[in-house]
Amino acid sequence: MTQSKQNRGAEGGTVLGFPLKGFGVFTSLLLAFAAAFFTFFATTTIAIFALLGWNLLGHHAVSYADSYRYVGFPAGVVVLVVAMPVFGVLWIRAKAAR
């Protein structure tokens, strides 16, 4: 078992358990969209709780829909725009290595 781990490490590294070699088109697209999806929901959750505190402590009436519009959606789009070329390059490198 240790020999197979050493062989995998010699071929290419890993980031958080994901191998950096051998991504297919579908895997690259799936990982890019999953990163954007996770970022959207994580930033939206943080923004909702921040607005909750802002509304309760400051006696304001800010709409919670603003957390989706101005925080979650832009953050998800930025991560998608960054992740697509990153995973695209990983896919092209895997194709070129074959």
* Counted domains in the chain: 1
Per-residue pLDDT tens over the stretch 33-88: 999 999 999 999 999 999 999 999 988 888 989 899 999 999 999 999 999 999 88
Rounded to two decimals, the pTM is 0.75
Question: Hey, what amino acid is at 7?
Answer: N
Is 3 a residue whose pLDDT tops 80? no
For residue 65, give the 3-state DSSP assignment.
Answer: helix
Dihedral in degrees, nearest 10, Cα atoms 17, 22, 25, 31 = 10
pLDDT at 12: 63
pLDDT on residue 77:
97
| pLDDT attached to residue 9 | 47
- Is residue 17 left, alpha or beta, with left meaning phi > 0 and alpha meaning psi from -120 to 50? left
Domain that holds residue 81: 2-97
